Amino acid sequence: MPFFCRNDVSNHYRWPSSVQPSSERQNAYGAPASSVSGNADNAFARGYTPVINTGQRREPGLGLYFYRARWYDPVIGRFLQADTLVPNPGDPQSLNRYAYVLNNPLRLVDPSGFAPQYPGDPDPNNAPCSTEWCWQNRWYNARGYGWDGTAWGSMIPPIYYDRGAINEVLSDAGITLSGGGGMTGSGLRMDWTDDRAEQIARGVALFGRALSGGIGALRRLLGNTTTTVHIFTSTGPECAFNNPCAPPPPYDTGNNIRLPVNIFGSYGANLHMLLVHELAHIVDWHSSIGGKSFSHAWSYEPITAYARDGWPPPWDRFAEAVAVFVLGSEYSRVASFLVTDYSSQMGALQSLLEGWR
């Protein structure tokens, strides 16, 4: 969970109570000014982790802060790597890609390392924010939970405000994106645009939300190893060339999901549903119950037409059941349902997925 320190009018930043051995005064750029009841170096020696006003961690011996995206030197008030974003090209201050918060640290903060945050911004919207509640809200939003007035207890479609939130969800599941870039002969982009990456993260978040252990439980079901999603012009004979697939052993020795580039156009905003189906295959490749994989132990009737007609039948019957388990009736946007009452299957599937790893 992200945490953020509060400051009083004299720029006196404090560690959270759970890790607070002392307090330290810092200037507006985060550089130490003076110590009060201790110092940061002693805190490091005792194993504590000092943080500054935006919750970033200072590395012992370096004097640098890690802003999740970049390293920051509070003495010179600059990042050590150039920003990958230009938040507002119309503002000349944005063009200095090493500057900290548009050179206005008394007014702005930068929790992500990508863009300055404006205090008091409402949420949800696409503007940056700096309050603790706002950043927690965006953490939950990225995983499909919304604020219900007292807690993040309502289920919503996952919301992503920047690429960093997308990458964090993917990283939690051990998922990486691979693509060669460039263009196909027919003019299709071969790279991971934000829209494409968001669809993958959306599928991961919804899958994790369906499990009591969240995205961490999904990662365990995927074998606790890296899963790579690839973009191809053609996915190869093991995927019947232009079909999406997650090849099983022995055709593939790792966790790989292969997506032909044309699939992004045909699925559009429903691509996350296809991703859930393919993730279910990888779960299946890692499973074992009574000496059988999940799909070969799954004896229920097909829920969708593809579950009935797919090949080999056990694989897709299981993967389609998992897709319905994760997505519910919304999966009908991409699949033809054969049954209307599948509640008993969902209960059995939950027990299977939750009780294995």
Tell me the backbone φ, ψ of residue 138, rounded to 5 degrees.
Answer: -70, -30
Q: Characterize 61-98 residue by residue with b for buried, 16 or more Cβ atoms within 10 angstroms of its Cβ, and e for exposed.
A: eeebbebbbbebbbeebebeeebebeeeeeeeebeeee
Please indicate, yes or no, if residue 133 is contained in any of the structural domains: no
The residues with which 330 forms a beta bridge, in sequence order, are none
Q: How far apart are alpha carbons 219 and 216 in whole angstroms?
A: 5
129 assigned to some structural domain: no
Which of 89, 110, 131 marks a domain boundary?
Answer: 110
Rounded to an integer, the average pLDDT of 142-168 is: 90
pLDDT band at 207 (very low <50, low <70, confident <90, very high): very high
> Are 90 and 6 contained in the same domain?
yes
Is residue 318 in some structural domain? Answer: yes
Tokens for 130? 């700096």
Enclosing domain of residue 49: 1-110
Same domain, 150 and 100: no
Q: Which tokens belong to 235?
A: 């996915």
Residue 161 clears pLDDT 70, i.e. is over it: yes
**Residue 29 — very low, low, confident or very high, per pLDDT cuts 50/70/90?**
low
Number of independent structural domains in the chain: 2
According to DSSP, residue 78 is labeled: E
pLDDT higher at 237 or 316: 316
**CA distances (Å), 48 to each of 22, 41, 98, in order?**
10, 10, 29
Could you write out the three-class secondary structure of 140-177? HHCCCEECCCCCCCEECCCCCCCHHHHHHHHHHCCEEE
Same domain, 340 and 195: yes
pLDDT tens-digit readout, 104-123 = 665 565 655 555 545 445 56
163 and 80 assigned to the same domain: no
Q: Would the pLDDT of 256 be above 50?
A: yes
Q: Are residues 154 and 63 in the same domain?
A: no
Domain boundary pick from 87, 110, 133: 110
47-86 per-position pLDDT tens digit: 334 445 455 667 767 778 877 678 888 888 888 888 766 6
